[in-house]
């Protein structure tokens, strides 16, 4: 989709693929190899085979001179490096959106979303379009330097993007946008720090944890979110962390949490996102090939991204009426 309307199976996308080999925000090394693994697993080729025009911009690289960031109250490891990545990514995603392209950011750890979402939010604000964020993740990533038990910044992007205090120096004077807390939807969550839980409740942020998914199923819970975006004539940024998926089928991540989404649940999410026509941008983060098994996590991610961009087994099902199912051929 672009900012001017929805896409369907007959409308192909202009895609801008941006590698962000960042691992400074994580507690384990290896995520910097994520973009290369996704390309090796055939991501670009798969998108082109689906009929989309994919421009691979290659990987960004840290500048030799890092920005000066004021000291923070608490722990925020490698904040100067994260600031440099964030400023570069915000420019890249803003320019992609401005050119009418759909940015796909390949990570790298989840701190990259500070920059990717910052640039997309800036563009949406200029266009007077409401931006929503779907955070597919085992973790809520809503810590601040004052609350983080580890100081790893891949656990802080949403707090910064929702204007929580403590990380104002990351962007400095560089232009960027923010996310309204009421427009943030956390989906598949199963690990929240106690201080994060307090903040999430105080800010009224929508959290769909795995208990809710177990009880009610993916479809009605996700449909509620998508209908809200559609009703607001908004657009949706999707940030997909590998640990959203159960580690038994996607082990290539440094922060595994048992009990994640199954193969079919993850594909259903992506298929519904495609059908909704509201997705404007995508992060794929936290792939750590060093921890993977013969590339199985990277290959699964490529399959899931393909579902988001229109790959289906047969066709989109119509509504079920009186126990019968009709299929669009």
Annotation marks residue 141 as catalytic: yes
The answer to whether the beta carbons of residues 20 and 60 sit under 8 Å apart is yes
Q: Which of 78, 154, 267, 274 is catalytic?
A: 154
Annotation marks residue 139 as catalytic: yes
Annotation marks residue 77 as catalytic: no
Q: Which of 81, 109, 139, 274 is catalytic?
A: 139
Secondary structure of residue 214 in the 3-state scheme: helix
Beta strands 184-189 and 53-59: pairing type? unpaired
Annotation marks residue 176 as catalytic: no
Q: Which of 243, 265, 271, 292 is catalytic?
A: 243
Annotation marks residue 154 as catalytic: yes
Q: Which of 23, 141, 206, 271 is catalytic?
A: 141
Annotation marks residue 241 as catalytic: yes
Q: Which of 23, 24, 109, 110 is catalytic?
A: 110
Where do runs of H (alpha helix) occur along the chain? 34-40, 43-49, 79-98, 112-126, 157-161, 194-203, 210-216, 218-231, 263-276, 296-308
Annotation marks residue 173 as catalytic: no
**Would you list the DSSP string of 240-292?**
EEGGGB-TTT----SS--SS-B-HHHHHHHHHHHHHHT-EEEEEEE---GGGS
Which residues have C-beta within 8 Å of that of residue 289, sequence separation ≥ 6? 30, 33, 34, 36, 37, 252, 295, 297, 298
Instruction: Calculate the CA 205 to chain-centre distance.
Output: 17
Q: Which of 241, 246, 283, 292 is catalytic?
A: 241
- CA distance linking residue 23 with residue 116, whole number of Å: 15
The answer to whether the beta carbons of residues 15 and 101 sit under 8 Å apart is yes
Q: Which of 109, 271, 283, 286 is catalytic?
A: 286
Annotation marks residue 243 as catalytic: yes
DSSP conformational letter for 324: B
Q: Which residue do the tokens 């956390």 mark?
A: 186
Q: Which of 137, 265, 283, 292 is catalytic?
A: 137
Secondary structure of residue 161 in the 3-state scheme: helix
CA distances from 245 to 82, 153, 181 (A): 26, 21, 24
Q: Which residue do the tokens 């060093």 mark?
A: 290
Provide the annotated active-site residues. Answer: 110, 137, 139, 141, 154, 241, 243, 286
């Amino acid at each position: 989709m672009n900012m001017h309307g929805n896409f369907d199976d007959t409308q192909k996308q202009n895609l801008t693929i941006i590698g962000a080999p960042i691992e400074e925000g994580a507690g384990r090394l290896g995520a910097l190899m994520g973009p290369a693994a996704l390309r090796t697993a055939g991501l670009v080729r798969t998108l082109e085979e689906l009929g989309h025009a994919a421009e691979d911009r290659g990987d960004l690289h840290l500048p030799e001179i890092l920005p000066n960031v004021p000291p923070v109250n608490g722990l925020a490891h490698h904040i100067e490096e994260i600031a440099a990545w964030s400023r570069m990514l915000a420019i890249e995603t803003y320019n992609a959106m401005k050119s009418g392209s759909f940015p796909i950011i390949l990570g790298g750890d989840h701190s990259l979303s500070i920059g990717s979402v910052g640039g997309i939010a800036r563009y949406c604000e200029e266009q007077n379009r409401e931006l929503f964020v779907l955070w597919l993740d085992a973790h809520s990533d809503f810590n601040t330097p004052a609350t983080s038990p580890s100081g790893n910044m891949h656990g802080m992007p949403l707090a910064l993007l929702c204007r929580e205090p403590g990380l104002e120096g990351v962007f400095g004077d560089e232009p960027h946008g923010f996310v309204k807390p009421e427009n943030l939807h956390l989906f598949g969550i199963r690990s929240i720090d106690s201080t994060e839980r307090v903040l999430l409740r105080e800010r009224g942020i929508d959290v769909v944890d795995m208990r809710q998914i177990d009880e009610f199923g993916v479809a009605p819970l996700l449909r509620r979110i998508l209908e809200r975006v559609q009703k607001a004539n908004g657009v949706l940024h999707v940030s997909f962390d590998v640990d959203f998926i159960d580690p038994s089928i996607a082990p290539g991540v440094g922060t595994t949490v048992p009990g994640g989404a199954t193969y079919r649940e993850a594909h259903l999410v992506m298929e519904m996102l495609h059908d909704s026509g509201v997705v404007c941008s995508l992060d794929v983060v936290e792939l750590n090939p060093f921890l993977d098994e013969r590339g199985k996590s990277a290959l699964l991610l490529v399959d899931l991204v393909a579902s988001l961009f229109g790959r289906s087994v047969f066709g989109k099902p119509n509504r079920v009426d009186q126990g019968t199912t009709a299929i669009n051929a």
